[in-house]
Structure 1
């Protein structure tokens, strides 16, 4: 019996300097979280886990409440730390850093985290979830960069271009045989964007 993981990228959350962990969803993000619930409520998901960041939890919360389940938070599933780059610098500079980090897995800015380091903290949790909940369905509240890093671990085609094709929110259904990825299906259908 396969194990199903639903990677749920958080909905729109306005950027607020110094508020990475506490950022809430926008009005549109809150409405989209309800759409996530509608899309997935018939999937009979048994386990709910998330990054501890408020926007990831808020995107997953309506679905977890519908299922009558608690959300277990894992610090290791938090978004990748970009370091000293300022969001005020603009998307072009940020995207150049992200692109380079997918080309060179060890690349990082001062006070930042490389893709390799982010993968090394997140993958033990993924392996644990697959082992402990084999044959079950698991929803993961996540972020764009760490989601792409995790999916890239299993499928190298999920790199920078994949990340740029994702939306907020987004949903990917991953099928596993043991710890081997055997299929990926996108369940959300909006236009892609970087923000």
Structure 2
């Protein structure tokens, strides 16, 4: 009995300093959230969970509304806080936290800590909803760290190549990952 996990990275969201929790989607992001719904229209989607960040919720909301499902928010699915990266470029800072999973910038969260909290949630969901399909509204780092726990291929280069939004379908038998496929492309309709 396979359990399907759809990890949906949020759509485009304009950066606003100090507004991580409440920043929503750009107009393009809103259009892409509708495309997410179209791409997964024929897929079984039994349960909806999300990071509490507005951009993650808004990306899966059209699909959840189409299914007449509520989205349950889980704080441990929130994006990783990178911390004070003064004097370090954004991409260099991201590379550093992926190269050393125990490293964190002041006020930030290491890859190991973020991965641990997110994996704990996913394992609970896989056990709770065995045989079902689960949609998770998430973020680039958390999606990458979740996949990395099952396959070390998923690291900095993968994070850097992921789009906004992005959809990855992970198929599990109990807690054993069987296959990961990408369901999103700019040509998907």
How is 1:178-193 mapped onto 2 (pairs within 5 angstroms)?
Answer: 178-190=174-186
How is 1:92-107 mapped onto 2 (pairs within 5 angstroms)?
Answer: 93-107=89-103
**C-alpha separation in 2, matches of 1:112 and 1:190:** 32
**C-alpha separation in 2, matches of 1:120 and 1:189:** 29
Q: Which runs of structure 1 show a deviation greater than 3 angstroms over 4 or more consecutive aligned residues?
A: none
Cα displacement (A) at 1:85: 2.4
> Which SS does the other structure have where 1:52 is aligned?
coil
**C-alpha separation in 1, matches of 2:70 and 2:149:** 27
> TM-score when scaled to structure 1?
0.93
How is 1:3-152 mapped onto 2 (pairs within 5 angstroms)?
Answer: 3-85=3-85, 93-152=89-148
Task: Considering fraction of residues, name the structure with more helix.
Answer: 1
Whether the 8 Å CA contact 1:167–1:190 is kept in 2: the answer is no
In structure 2, which of residues 151, 155, 171 is the aligned counterpart of residue 155 of structure 1? 151
> Which SS does the other structure have where 2:89 is aligned?
helix
**C-alpha separation in 2, matches of 1:61 and 1:85:** 32
> Which SS does the other structure have where 1:130 is aligned?
helix
Structure 2: state its 5+ residue gaps.
Answer: none
| Root mean square deviation, CA, Å | 1.3
